[in-house]
Every structure is written in C-alpha cells, then in structure tokens.
Amino acid sequence: MASHSAVKDTAYTECGMDGLPCLTSEFAKGWLDDLDTIELPGRFQQQPGINRTLRQQYEVVAANMIANIVSRYGDLSIENELIAAFQGSQPQKIQRPVDRMQHARPHVLQEQLSKLKKPVNIKAQKKRQYLDEFMKELIFKLFNTTEKQQRVLNTPSGPIKHPECHSKMLEAFHQKCFNFNKNPYAAEYSSVLSNICSEGVNVDTVIKKMIDHCQGITVTNIE
C-alpha cells in the first residue's frame, strides 16, 4: 500500500526550524498522527483502535487527506493484518521524547533536484509521448465535448470527491492498462482518472470502454 504511487508522493512543508528545509508526506504523517490518537498506555492491550486492520487504517487516513491522491496497488496480501502485528509485542519500558522532524541537509536536497533536472533520454521520451497520446485518445472516446475533454485532461489534482469510483478506476487501469510498478510515468495520469469520476459517469461503463481501449497497447515500461 502506498500514499500516492510507486514513484511519487505528495509532500508539504511543516517548518519552524530557523528556515531549514523541512518536508513531510501528508499521508505518512496522517497515518502516524491517527495512531497517536489511540490510547498509548494501552496500545499493547488490544484497544479498539489497534484492532484495526491495515486496510481499515488506510481508509481512515485516506478520508482525511487534502493534497494527496491516495491509492492502493501492488501486493495487497497484508492489508487484512492487524496494525498490532506491526507495533511490537512489548510496551516501551523507557519513555523518551522523539524528534520526528529531521534536519534536511541542503546538499542532499540539491542532489535530488539535480537528478530531476537531468534530460530524459530520447527512447524514454518517445515512450512518454506514446502514453500522453494514448490517454488523450481515451478521453476523446469517453467524452464527446471539447469542454469535458479539456476539463478532464487539465484540471489539477485535488481532494478526491468520489473515492469509490477513483479506487475502481485506478485498480482497473493498473490491472488492465498500465501497471504502475512497471510504468511509473503512468502515475502522472492518476488525477485524470479521478477527473473522469468527477464528470458523473457510470464507472462500470467507463471501465469497460477503458479496458477495450487498452487492448491496443503496444508500448510498456514507460518511466
């Protein structure tokens, strides 16, 4: 399970350390903050909150996201495990404060930015162009007005208004079209899939049309 996609996460600043750069993942922080609401002294005594499965915890946290487009994909075999299984079996004997905010070294951030600025090789660029055109063709098939087509393709990501539809669309796209793990660039279109749901569509009908369109895929491993 992941907060955004196989290759990208939504981060925002939560500063207060003399201007030093400080980023945090909204989903990861939300997950930890929610666990903190469980009565800590009784954490290992099977309190109601700790009886949640990972899937239930995911749904609780996902419902409160603002910036993150949250999705589930990959191997979900652990999602029915209890959170307690990952919290340890013994209570902590010595209570001590934990500094959750780590100082980010500027040179490390600069190194990451440099990697992002490196030009994409021609072969990879052509693969991305293939996916870009593929998605445009899909949207043109699903919607017959220019207004809707442009709205679906260009509306930036925001709060998920139709989570069930969004989840079904992502899962079908991942399983039948472009596997997000093998095609990381496809994650760029998660907001487009969400925008489709915002048009008040019949999700099952749309998924069927999408799967039919995906039968013609000729390029994969799009990074």
CA angle 68, 71, 77 (to 5 degrees): 140
Residue 53's CB: how many other CB atoms inside 10 A? 16
Residue 192's CB: how many other CB atoms inside 10 A? 19
- In this structure, are 95 and 128 located in the same domain? no
Q: What is the pLDDT of residue 36?
A: 72
* pLDDT tens readout for residues 111-153: 555 555 556 688 888 999 999 999 999 999 999 999 999 999 9
Digits of tens for pLDDT over the chain (223 positions)?
Answer: 555 554 555 555 555 544 455 566 777 778 877 777 764 434 444 444 557 788 888 888 887 776 666 777 667 788 888 877 776 555 555 554 544 444 444 444 555 555 555 566 888 889 999 999 999 999 999 999 999 999 999 998 778 888 899 889 999 999 999 998 889 889 889 889 999 999 999 999 999 999 999 998 999 999 8
Asked if the structure places residue 4 within a domain, the reply is no
Asked if the structure places residue 6 within a domain, the reply is no
- In this structure, are 35 and 106 located in the same domain? yes
- In this structure, are 19 and 88 located in the same domain? yes
Range of the domain at 84: 12-115
- In this structure, are 136 and 88 located in the same domain? no
Asked if the structure places residue 1 within a domain, the reply is no
Cα gap 115→121, rounded to integer Å: 13
* pLDDT tens readout for residues 204-220: 999 999 999 999 899 99
- In this structure, are 72 and 102 located in the same domain? yes
Residues contacting 116, CB < 8 A, separation 6+: none
